[in-house]
Amino acid sequence: MKIAVVGATGMVGQVMLKVLAERNFPVTELLPVASERSVGNKISFNNKEYEVIGLEEAVAQKPDIALFSAGGETSLEWAPKFAEAGTTVIDNSSAWRMHPEKKLIVPEINASELTSEDKIIANPNCSTIQMVMALAPLHKEYGITRVVVSTYQSITGTGVKAVQQLENEYKGEQGEMAYPYPIHRNAIPQCDVFEENGYTKEEMKLTNETKKILKDNAVEVTATAIRIPVVGGHSESINVTFSRDFDVNDVRRLLKEFPGVTVQDNTDVNTYPMPIYAEGKDDVFVGRIRRDLSQANSLNMWIVADNLRKGAATNAVQIAEYLVDNKLV
């Protein structure tokens, strides 16, 4: 497979390369693609050195699959050009996620929707992926009517500038700010920009993308997305209301049996998911599973995942694996 990684020098692009190598994806030729200022730089993949190329050259080489993590503007302009050239694009930006003719895929949930006709496939937002991985098996069994989610998001979701800001603040040094406020010893109740309705784009992604992935507009989601000074992954406190009563042990069983989910839930020995242990792993970790004593048919749980891996790179590579395994590319 000739594979392009568009945004190869960025945080997610680098993890995409790492995951492709770790999972022995059948890469026969790699095209690391980045902006003009990075063209000519060298990157290593599978113990070989590759030169970064620009978008024009990458399209001309007609890769089989292009994994994009280069921002919405680049995806809007260039994904159609790759698709036109016969490449299947898996895009990690928000550009195509809510497009009515584009599929929004978490392989464990809805990869079966994919066909060889799908030439631009959207990778959901990181905070959505980890949430729907836990919601999907429960929705199938009990029918979810409402979700209240508070996220505690890693600064790696913002990118290198945010990681640098935190490091500077640790050292008491001034530097470029990724956020409007200090992030060290702080919690910022804003991920992305605010919309007219008072929610941030990040919060509305959790609402809108969940409906599309679960294929059920009746699932109501209200979200509050917080940025915290953590690097290993995103954490989410979830309150779910079902259409009927449930058994907590059955919920645990459904989660344990769902591929890609690991239940870490034993308060007798203080066992629950945390970003420091989720970092570098591909599973979605679920714990603190307990009935909501204040509301009928409702459950609380805590979900943690590495936002750069299952939240972005690994999910994209898993989509590519599905396409290859099912001869859709």
The residues that are catalytic are 126, 234
DSSP string over 39-83: TT-EEEETTEEEE-B-HHHHHHT--SEEEE-S-HHHHHHHHHHHH
Query: Binder to ligand 2RA among 79, 191, 299, 303 (CB under 6 A)?
Result: 191
Considering only the stretches 52-60, 105-113, 152-160, 264-272, report the one whose residues sit in contact with ligand 2RA under the rule CB under 6 A.
152-160
Query: Binder to ligand 2RA among 87, 88, 130, 153 (CB under 6 A)?
Result: 153
Contacting ligand 2RA within 25-44 (CB under 6 A): none
Does the annotation flag 9 for ligand binding?
A: yes
Q: Write down the least CB distance from residue 235 to ligand 2RA, Å.
A: 12
* Minimum CB distance to ligand 2RA smaller for 251 or for 305: 305
* Minimum CB distance to ligand 2RA smaller for 156 or for 297: 156
Whole-Å CA distances, 241 to 146, 249, 301: 5, 16, 12
Query: Binder to ligand 2RA among 157, 232, 273, 287 (CB under 6 A)?
Result: 157
* Minimum CB distance to ligand 2RA smaller for 52 or for 312: 312
Contacting ligand 2RA within 113-132 (CB under 6 A): 125-127
* Minimum CB distance to ligand 2RA smaller for 88 or for 235: 235
Distance of alpha carbon 81 from alpha carbon 77, whole angstroms? 7
Query: Tokens for 185?
Result: 């010893």
Q: Write down the least CB distance from residue 234 to ligand 2RA, Å.
A: 7
H/E run at residue 142: helix 126-142
Packing angle, helices 126-142 and 201-213, rounded to 10: 40
Q: Write down the least CB distance from residue 123 to ligand 2RA, Å.
A: 11
Length of the chain: 329
Backbone torsions φ then ψ of 194, nearest 5 degrees: -85, 145
* Closest to 313 in 3D by CA, of 2, 18, 9: 18
What is the number of other CB atoms lying within 10 angstroms of the CB of residue 115? 10
Q: Write down the least CB distance from residue 157 to ligand 2RA, Å.
A: 2
Q: How many of the chain's residues bind ligand 2RA (CB under 6 A)?
A: 9
CB 153 within 8 A of CB 307: yes
Does the annotation flag 14 for ligand binding?
A: no
Amino acid letter, residue 256:
K
Does the annotation flag 153 for ligand binding?
A: yes
Considering only the stretches 50-58, 135-143, 153-161, 235-243, report the one whose residues sit in contact with ligand 2RA under the rule CB under 6 A.
153-161
Q: Write down the least CB distance from residue 87 to ligand 2RA, Å.
A: 24
Contacts of 36 (CB under 8 A, 6+ apart): 54
Burial per residue of 171-206, b for 16 or more beta-carbon CB atoms within 10 angstroms, e otherwise? eeeeeeebbeeebeeeebebbbeeeeeebbebbbbb
CB 58 within 8 A of CB 38: no
* Minimum CB distance to ligand 2RA smaller for 92 or for 298: 92
Does the annotation flag 244 for ligand binding?
A: no
Nearest position to ligand 2RA, beta carbon: 157
Q: Write down the least CB distance from residue 154 to ligand 2RA, Å.
A: 7
* Minimum CB distance to ligand 2RA smaller for 3 or for 191: 191
Query: Binder to ligand 2RA among 69, 87, 130, 158 (CB under 6 A)?
Result: 158
CB 261 within 8 A of CB 109: no
Binding residues for NADP(+): 9-12, 37-38, 307
Contact set with ligand 2RA (CB under 6 A): 125-127, 153, 157-158, 191, 202, 307
Q: Which residues are annotated as a binding site for substrate?
A: 153, 227
